[in-house]
C-alpha cells in the first residue's frame, strides 16, 4: 500500500514507488538456488507484449527471502522498543519507517497494563526438524516432474504455506509449534500449468490447496488435520503478469496470482488503476480477492471485487469454467461468477481475471472530521450514505481508536508543530466542549478531478457540520489510513509483550450499527472478565464502509494475557462469543474476510439449510472427489 501511505500528492507517490522498486530490486538478486527440489520452467503467456519481467515482482518463490515466517509482512519492517525504551518502526518501506513513536509506549502500558520488563519473545528461527516429513504421492510427483513445473518439499516452503494470519496460527508459529503442513509446494507459471496440475491431482487423488498471498484470517489455509492424502499447496504467486490492457473498454486481463501492490503499480505505469485497495493489498492476490469476495477501501468509487470483475477463468476438476464473452451484464441464469466468488478455494483455482480499470485520479485529498461522540458520527455517515455522496473512503473510528491513532503519531520535528497540535486540542476540547473521552474521528479520502474533489469535500463537510462535526485536517486523515497498514505489524509488537489480539468484521443495516457496536464491545469486555483475563481488554470498533442500506464495521480486540495458562483458547472463546453477539443482533457472518474454517459452524444458520444444499450440490458436481480439499465454507 505504498501509494496510500506515501503522501497526498502524486510526486510524493512516485518517489515512494521508486524507492520501493529499488528495495525490491535488492531482494531480487537471488542467491543461487540451493534447493534441489525447485525446477525452473518458462511458461509462454499469451500477451508477452505487456508482460513485465518477473524480476520486478514483489513476491519471490521463496517468500522467506523477504518476509517473516512467524509474523506479519516484510522481515525488515517491525516495531520494537529501542535501547531508550522508545517505540520505533524499522525499515524504509513505510512512511513511519525509521521514526520514533513517542506515545506508543505509554499507550500500550496504560491500555493493556503491559510492561516492557515482561517479554514473550518469539522463537527466532524455524526449526525444520519440528516439521513433519512430507507424505509424497510418488506417482503424482513423477508426472509433475515431467511437466517441468517448479515444486519443492523444503520444510520452510511448506510451513510458509500452511497458515494465514489468524491469531492462533501466528501464536503457534512464535512458539515454534507446527501442525499439519502441505507436503509439497508447486509454482505454476500460467493457466496451462494449473490445468496440468489439477489434471494430475485428479488422476492421482492428491489434495490441492490454492495459495495466493497468504493473508487469510479465517483459517482457510490450515491443512485439515483429518486429510490423509498428500496435500499440495498450489502457490499462484508466479502467475503475476498483466496479460493485456484494453484501453477502449477500460479492462485489463491479469493473471490471478498478482498481488495488489504490483497490480496497481504496473497499471499506474500505464496511467491506470483498478482502485481496489483492501487493507491487505500489499500481499493479497487477485485470485484471493475473487475467492473470498474481497472489498476495497475505495469501493465507493470503484466497487467491491464483484463489481470490478468482468470475466473469470477458473480451473476445476471438471475442467475450465469461463464465460464466452465480456458483456458488462448478462441475463443468463444465475451468474456463475457468483459460484466462484467466495468459493474460498473449494472448487478450483482462479487463474485469470479480466477486471475493470480506470484512469488514475488526477487529485487525491485526505481529510478528517471530529465528532463530539460516536453516535453523532454514525448519524453523519448515515446521512452521507443517504445522500449518496460518500467520498472514495469514509471511516469512523471510535474514541479508543482515536486515542490509539493519536498514540501512533511520530515524533514531531518542530516545536511549532507541537504547539499547533496543542492549540488544536485546546480548541476542540475546551472551546468546543468536546469530551476527550467521547469524541471520535472520521477519516476521509477524496479522489477525482481537482475541482470536483473540492466541491465534494465541501458537501461532505457541510453534512458533517450538521452533526456537530469539525474539520480536523488532512494529516489526521492520512494517519488514519496509514494505521491500517501498520496495525498488523503492531500485533507482533504486542505479542512480544503478552498482548494478543485481532480484528474481525461484519456488516449490518444502518439502524443496528450503534447497537451492534455497543453490544459487541460490551460483550467482549464481559467475556474477558468471565474468562479470567486479568486486565481490562482493548475493545474498539470502526465503521469502515457505507452502503445504501447499511455499513461494514470492524472490531479490534486485544488483551494482556499475563496470568492465563491458555491465552489463545481464551481469545478464541471471546471472539466466538463476540460473533454470536453480532449474529444475535442482526449482523452478518462476514463482510469480506470470508468464512474459511473459523466461521463454518454458523454457515447453516446464515444461509439456511436449502442454501447449504445448493452450495453443496455445486461442490459435489464440480469436485466430486474433493480434490480441492481445504474444507472451507461448507
Partner 1 sequence: MILLHLLYTLRSLNDDEEFTDILEERRRNTDLGYALRTFNPQPYKGAPSCSTSDLNKAVLESQYLRYIAKEIALETGSSVEKVRQEARGILEEMSHNLQLGFIRLMAYTFNKVFKRLFRSIYVNMEGLNMLQQAIQESPVILMPNHRSYVDFLIVSFVLFTYDIPIPVIAAGIPLASMKVVGEILRRSGAFFIRRAIGSDKLYWAVLSEYVRTIVRTGCAPLEFYVEGFRSRTLKSVVPKLGMMDMVLEPYFKGEVFDITLVPISISYDRVVEESLLALELLGVPKPKESTTGLFKASRVLQEDYGCMHVNFGRPLSVRQLCEGKINRSEYNLIPRDLPQRPSTEIQDCVNWLAHLIVRTQEEGALISPWSLMACLLLQAPITTLTEEGLQWHGLTEKTLWLRKLVLDFRGRLNWPDSDVMSSTVALHHSIVHHKAGRVYLVQDGNPASQDPLSPEEKVMRTAAAVLMLVSYRNQALHVFVRPGILATAIHITKSTQKDELFSFFCFLRDVFSSEFIFIPGRASQDFDEACSLLQKCGAVYISQQEVTVLETGLEVLSFLQKLLQPFLESYQLIFRYLCENGAHVFTEKQFLPAVRNLATKLILSGDLHTFEVLSSDTQKNVLSALRRLEAVTKLRASQQNEYKVNKAAVRRTGDILCKIICDIPVKIKLLFCVRLENFDLFLPCCL
Which residues are part of a known binding site for substrate? 491
Quick check: 435 binds partner 1 (CB under 8 A)? no
Could you tell me if 597 and 220 are in contact, meaning their C-beta atoms sit under 8 angstroms apart? yes
Q: How far is the CB of 604 from partner 1 (least distance, A)?
A: 13
Give the number of residues in contact with partner 1, rule: CB under 8 A: 13
Site string for partner 1, 462-501 (x = CB under 8 A): ----------------------------------------
Q: Which of 307, 515, 566, 620 binds partner 1 (CB under 8 A)?
A: 515
Residue among 100 and 514 whose Cβ is closer to partner 1: 514
Q: Which of 64, 120, 519, 573 binds partner 1 (CB under 8 A)?
A: 519
Quick check: 65 binds partner 1 (CB under 8 A)? no
Q: Which of 451, 511, 601, 620 binds partner 1 (CB under 8 A)?
A: 511
- Residues making up the annotated binding site are 210-216, 292-295, 344-350, 491
- Burial of 39-77, coded b for 16+ CB within 10 Å and e otherwise, reads eeeeeebeeeeebeebeebbbbbbbbebbbbbbbbbeeb
Q: Which of 512, 531, 576, 600 binds partner 1 (CB under 8 A)?
A: 512
Kindly give the pairing relationship between strand 363-371 and strand 440-448.
antiparallel
Determine phi and psi for 568, rounding to 5 degrees.
-65, -40
Nearest to 164 by CA among 126, 213, 234, 131: 213
Quick check: 583 binds partner 1 (CB under 8 A)? yes
Q: How far is the CB of 504 from partner 1 (least distance, A)?
A: 18
- Residues making up the annotated binding site for FAD are 210-216, 292-295, 344-350
Residue among 384 and 520 whose Cβ is closer to partner 1: 520
CA 377 to chain centre: 25
Interface stretch with partner 1, choices 46-54, 57-65, 129-137, 579-587 (CB under 8 A): 579-587
Q: Which of 318, 461, 586, 607 binds partner 1 (CB under 8 A)?
A: 586
Q: How far is the CB of 539 from partner 1 (least distance, A)?
A: 12
Q: Which of 127, 362, 584, 608 binds partner 1 (CB under 8 A)?
A: 584
Which grid coordinates are listed for 628? 480441492
Q: Give the start-end residues of each E strand in 417-498.
A: 440-448, 470-471
Which grid coordinates are listed for 447? 479522489
Residue among 321 and 508 whose Cβ is closer to partner 1: 508
Determine phi and psi for 370, rounding to 5 degrees.
-100, 130
Q: How far is the CB of 526 from partner 1 (least distance, A)?
A: 8
Distance from C-alpha of 487 to C-alpha of 222, rounded to nearest angstrom: 23
Site for partner 1 in 242-301 (CB under 8 A): none
Q: How far is the CB of 557 from partner 1 (least distance, A)?
A: 16
Site for partner 1 in 30-59 (CB under 8 A): none
Quick check: 357 binds partner 1 (CB under 8 A)? no
Q: How far is the CB of 549 from partner 1 (least distance, A)?
A: 12
Distance from C-alpha of 634 to C-alpha of 631, rounded to nearest angstrom: 7
Q: How far is the CB of 385 from partner 1 (least distance, A)?
A: 17
Residue among 186 and 577 whose Cβ is closer to partner 1: 577
Site for partner 1 in 598-627 (CB under 8 A): 605
Which grid coordinates are listed for 566? 491458555
Site string for partner 1, 520-549 (x = CB under 8 A): --xx--------------------------
Determine phi and psi for 477, rounding to 5 degrees.
-65, -50
Handedness of CA 374, 379, 383, 386 (dihedral sign): positive
Q: How far is the CB of 59 from partner 1 (least distance, A)?
A: 41
Query: Which residue out of 481, 554, 556, 571 is catalytically annotated?
Result: 554
Interface stretch with partner 1, choices 61-69, 253-261, 282-290, 519-527 (CB under 8 A): 519-527
Residue among 193 and 575 whose Cβ is closer to partner 1: 575
Question: Using N-to-C axis directions, what is the helix angle for 10-28 and 260-269, rounded to 10°?
Answer: 120
Q: How far is the CB of 584 from partner 1 (least distance, A)?
A: 4
Residue among 429 and 588 whose Cβ is closer to partner 1: 588
Q: How far is the CB of 334 from partner 1 (least distance, A)?
A: 23
Q: Check residue 354 and report its DSSP letter.
A: E
Nearest to 325 by CA among 255, 256, 249: 249
Determine phi and psi for 38, rounding to 5 degrees.
-95, 130
Distance from C-alpha of 392 to C-alpha of 105, rounded to nearest angstrom: 33
Interface stretch with partner 1, choices 126-134, 303-311, 482-490, 512-520 (CB under 8 A): 512-520
Interface stretch with partner 1, choices 21-29, 454-462, 507-515, 622-630 (CB under 8 A): 507-515
Q: Output the 3-class SS for 76-107.
A: CCCEEECCCCCEEECCCCCCCCCCEEHHHHHH
CA 390 to chain centre: 22
621 catalytic? Reply is: no
Interface stretch with partner 1, choices 380-388, 425-433, 584-592, 611-619 (CB under 8 A): 584-592
Distance from C-alpha of 163 to C-alpha of 628, rounded to nearest angstrom: 16
Quick check: 518 binds partner 1 (CB under 8 A)? yes
Quick check: 585 binds partner 1 (CB under 8 A)? yes
Q: Coil, strand or helix: which one is 67?
A: strand
471 burial via Cβ count (<10 Å: 0-12, 13-18, 19+): middle
Interface stretch with partner 1, choices 82-90, 122-130, 399-407, 515-523 (CB under 8 A): 515-523
Segment holding 186, helix H or strand E:
strand 184-186
Interface stretch with partner 1, choices 46-54, 115-123, 459-467, 508-516 (CB under 8 A): 508-516
Residue among 102 and 536 whose Cβ is closer to partner 1: 536
Long-range contacts of 561-569 (CB under 8 A, 24+ apart): 561/498, 561/499, 561/500, 561/533, 562/118, 562/498, 562/534, 562/535, 563/532, 563/534, 564/532, 564/533, 564/534, 567/171, 567/500, 568/167, 568/168, 568/171, 568/172, 568/500
458 burial via Cβ count (<10 Å: 0-12, 13-18, 19+): exposed
> Which residues participate in catalysis according to the annotation?
554
Residues that bind partner 1 (CB under 8 A): 511-512, 515-516, 518-519, 522-523, 583-586, 605
Amino acid at each position: 500500500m505504498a501509494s496510500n501511505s506515501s503522501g497526498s500528492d502524486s510526486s510524493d507517490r512516485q518517489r515512494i514507488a521508486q524507492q520501493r522498486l529499488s528495495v525490491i530490486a535488492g531482494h531480487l538478486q537471488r542467491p543461487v538456488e540451493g534447493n534441489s527440489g525447485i525446477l525452473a520452467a518458462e511458461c509462454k503467456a499469451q500477451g508477452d507484449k505487456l508482460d513485465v519481467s518477473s524480476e520486478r515482482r514483489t513476491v519471490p518463490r521463496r517468500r522467506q527471502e523477504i518476509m517473516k515466517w512467524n509474523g506479519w509482512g516484510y522481515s525488515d519492517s517491525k516495531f520494537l522498543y529501542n535501547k531508550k525504551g522508545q517505540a520505533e518502526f524499522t525499515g524504509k518501506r513505510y512512511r513511519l519507517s525509521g521514526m520514533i513513536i513517542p506515545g506508543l509506549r505509554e499507550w500500550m502500558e496504560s491500555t493493556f497494563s503491559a510492561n516492557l520488563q515482561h517479554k514473550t519473545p518469539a522463537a527466532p528461527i524455524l526449526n525444520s526438524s519440528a516439521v513433519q516429513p512430507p507424505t509424497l504421492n510418488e506417482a503424482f510427483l513423477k508426472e509433475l516432474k515431467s511437466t517441468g513445473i517448479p515444486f519443492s518439499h523444503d520444510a520452510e516452503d511448506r510451513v510458509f504455506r500452511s497458515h494465514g494470519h489468524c491469531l492462533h496460527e501466528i501464536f503457534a508459529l512464535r512458539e515454534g509449534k507446527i501442525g499439519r503442513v502441505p507436503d509439497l509446494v508447486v509454482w505454476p507459471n500460467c493457466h496451462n500449468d494449473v490445468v496440468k496440475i489439477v489434471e494430475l491431482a485428479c488422476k492421482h487423488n492428491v489434495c490441492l490447496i490454492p495459495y495466493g498471498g497468504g493473508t487469510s484470517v479465517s483459517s482457510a489455509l490450515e491443512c485439515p488435520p483429518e486429510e490423509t492424502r498428500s496435500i499440495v499447496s498450489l502457490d499462484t504467486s508466479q502467475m503475476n503478469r498483466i496479460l493485456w490492457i484494453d484501453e477502449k473498454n477500460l479492462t485489463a486481463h491479469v493473471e490471478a496470482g498478482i498481488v495488489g501492490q504490483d497490480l496497481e503499480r504496473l497499471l499506474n505505469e500505464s496511467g491506470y488503476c483498478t482502485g481496489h485497495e483492501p487493507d491487505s493489498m500489499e500481499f493479497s492476490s487477485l485470485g484471493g480477492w475473487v475467492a473470498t469476495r474481497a472489498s476495497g477501501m475505495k469501493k465507493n468509487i470503484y466497487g467491491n471485487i464483484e463489481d470490478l470483475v468482468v470475466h473469470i477463468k477458473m480451473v476445476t476438476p471438471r475442467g475450465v469454467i469461463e464465460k464466452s464473452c465480456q458483456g458488462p451484464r448478462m441475463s443468463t441464469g444465475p451468474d456463475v461468477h457468483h459460484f466462484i466468488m467466495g468459493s474460498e478455494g473449494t472448487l478450483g483455482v482462479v487463474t485469470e481475471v479480466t477486471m475493470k480499470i480506470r484512469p488514475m485520479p488526477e487529485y487525491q485529498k485526505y481529510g478528517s472530521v471530529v465528532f463530539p461522540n460516536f453516535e453523532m458520527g454514525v448519524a453523519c455517515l448515515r446521512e452521507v450514505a443517504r445522500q449518496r455522496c460518500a467520498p472514495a473512503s469514509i471511516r469512523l473510528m471510535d474514541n479508543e481508536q482515536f486515542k490509539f491513532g493519536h498514540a501512533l503519531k511520530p515524533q514531531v520535528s518542530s516545536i511549532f508543530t507541537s504547539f499547533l497540535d496543542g492549540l488544536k486540542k485546546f480548541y476542540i476540547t475546551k472551546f468546543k466542549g468536546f469530551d476527550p473521552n467521547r469524541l471520535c474521528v472520521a477519516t476521509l479520502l477524496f479522489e477525482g478531478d481537482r475541482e470536483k474533489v473540492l466541491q465534494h469535500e465541501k458537501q461532505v463537510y457541510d453534512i458533517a457540520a450538521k452533526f456537530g462535526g469539525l474539520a480536523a485536517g488532512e494529516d489526521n486523515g492520512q494517519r488514519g489510513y496509514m494505521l491500517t497498514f501498520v496495525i498488523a505489524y503492531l500485533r507482533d509488537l504486542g505479542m512480544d509483550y503478552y498482548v494478543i489480539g485481532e480484528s474481525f468484521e461484519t456488516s449490518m443495516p444502518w439502524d443496528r450499527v450503534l447497537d451492534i457496536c455497543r453490544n459487541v464491545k460490551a460483550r467482549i469486555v464481559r467475556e474477558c472478565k468471565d474468562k479470567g483475563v486479568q486486565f481490562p481488554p482493548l475493545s474498539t470498533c470502526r465503521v469502515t464502509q457505507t452502503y445504501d442500506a447499511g455499513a461494514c464495521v470492524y472490531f479490534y480486540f486485544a488483551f494482556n494475557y499475563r496470568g492465563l495458562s491458555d491465552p489463545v483458547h481464551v481469545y478464541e472463546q471471546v471472539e466466538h462469543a463476540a460473533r454470536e453477539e453480532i449474529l444475535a443482533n442482526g449482523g452478518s457472518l462476514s463482510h469480506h474476510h470470508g468464512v474459511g474454517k473459523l466461521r463454518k459452524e454458523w454457515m447453516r444458520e446464515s444461509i439456511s439449510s436449502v442454501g447449504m444444499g445448493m452450495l453443496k450440490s455445486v461442490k459435489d458436481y464440480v469436485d466430486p472427489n474433493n480434490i480441492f480439499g481445504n474444507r472451507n465454507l461448507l
